[in-house]
A and B are shown apart, each in its own frame.
Chain A
């Protein structure tokens, strides 16, 4: 098992996984979110190029009310 953090919560993966597959697996579909990996923005066009190998911290953010 490898460990990673998604939106501040610790989680586990059975094996390394591509970011696009991981996001789909966690229910993130469509275009209503944006991703940062270890504090750096990951453009949507690069999801398939990134592999999660453990130890990463992911932020997946969606539109929200704001002032």
Chain B
């Protein structure tokens, strides 16, 4: 995503709009996060209750880019149809593609995900696939035409952080040209720092902020985390050593009496 000129300056934090204690806290948290991209969804709603228009007006007023999702879809057909509906409703060809293969841990169905991705790219969508941290699947998604791939850190809403850093590191190393966003499982700002330090281009969070005791303060913490992690990646982290190496110069050490004294 950040490879495209118009997206170069977008925040590396993408944030969801669900689970906040109130709409006003959601708005404050989004502003504090400094995110430029918000995820939203589509659901059945009763027109007598406003039919989602109030929420949509609220989101539109924030002036952010919208990344609709296909949350809850379990088949290729459902996901493709939901994406088409989202394109009309939100007036964007961006879609966070979810094809869920397991109800218990909301793990993506890799086969359905790839199939739906190929179909949606044929229909000129910009597909942001939510995927497991499987290197080969991520590679196939990139080959299908995804410019951004979003492997999970751990199951959605679990807050367990980066359960398999090796897999994430390998995906980063093997797909240097693809924008990679860690989506799902981030629980604390240090998880975000770590993902960015590893060279991930961004993180997508929701529960980590919305379910914090103070969502607005936590949003601010995440804003700092992605900035810090990205700076660290660009700065280049020092290599690990097995033994201590003094940082204070040894020359002129006080009270030194020589090796044999």
Distance A7 CA – B49 CA, assembled complex (angstroms): 15
- Which residues of A lie under 8 Å from residue B42 when comparing CB positions? 34, 61-64, 66
B217 adjacent to chain A (CB < 8 Å): no
B33 on the A face (CB < 8 A): no
Q: Which of B12-68 contact A (CB under 8 A)?
A: 16-20, 26, 39-45, 47-48, 51-53, 55-56, 59, 68
Chain A contact residues (Cβ within 8 angstroms of B): what range? 20 to 34
Q: A32-B56, A39-B77 are in contact. Are A65 and B89 (CB under 8 A)?
A: no
Further contacts, 5 of them, CB under 8 A, given A27-B51, A66-B42: A32-B89, A34-B42, A63-B55, A64-B41, A67-B17
Of the candidates B17, B44, B45, B53, the one whose C-beta lies within 8 Å of that of A66 is: B17
Residues of chain B with a CB closer than 8 A to A36's CB: 81, 85
- Cα A30 to Cα B54 in complex, Å, equals 12
Measured CA separation A62–B68 after assembly (Å): 12
Residues of A with Cβ closer than 8 Å to B? 7-8, 26-36, 39-41, 43-44, 59-67
Complex formed: what's the CA distance from A39 to B90 in Å? 19
- B16 contacts A67, C-beta separation under 8 Å: yes
CB <8 Å contact, B59 and A63: yes
Interface contact B39-A66, CB-CB below 8 Å: yes
Are A32's CB and B85's CB within 8 A?
Answer: no
Q: In this complex, which of B51, B55, B56 has the most chain A Cβ atoms within 10 angstroms of its Cβ?
A: B51
Q: How far is the CA of A32 from the CA of B91 in the complex (A)?
A: 11
Residues of B near any A CB (own CB < 8 A): 16-20, 26, 39-45, 47-48, 51-53, 55-56, 59, 68-69, 71, 77-78, 81-82, 84-86, 88-90, 156-157, 206-207
Return the contact of B43 from the options A28, A41, A62 (Cβ within 8 A). A62
Q: Is A34 a contact of B156 with CB atoms below 8 Å?
A: no
Residues of A within 8 A of B48 (CB): 27
Cα separation A8 to B19 with both chains bound (whole Å): 25
- Of B39, B51, B77, B86, the contact of A32 (CB 8 Å cutoff): B51
Among all A-B residue pairs, the 7 with the closest Cβ atoms: A66-B41, A62-B52, A67-B16, A67-B206, A27-B47, A34-B85, A41-B84
Residue picked from B16, B40, B44, B56, most chain A C-beta under 10 Å: B44
CA distance A66 to B14 in the complex (A): 12
Interchain Cβ contacts under 8 Å between A and B, 11 examples: A31-B89, A33-B47, A36-B81, A41-B85, A59-B44, A61-B45, A62-B43, A62-B51, A63-B59, A64-B55, A67-B41
Q: Which of A8, A27, A28, A34 is in CB contact (< 8 Å) with B86?
A: A34
A67 in contact with B207 (CB, 8 Å):
yes
Pick from A27, A43, A67: contact of B88, CB below 8 A. A43
| A32 contacts B53, C-beta separation under 8 Å | yes
Give chain A nearest CB distance to B3 CB in angstroms: 25
List residues of chain A with CB within 8 A of the CB of B82. 61
Also in contact, A65 and B84, with CB within 8 A (given A8-B44, A29-B47, A33-B89): no
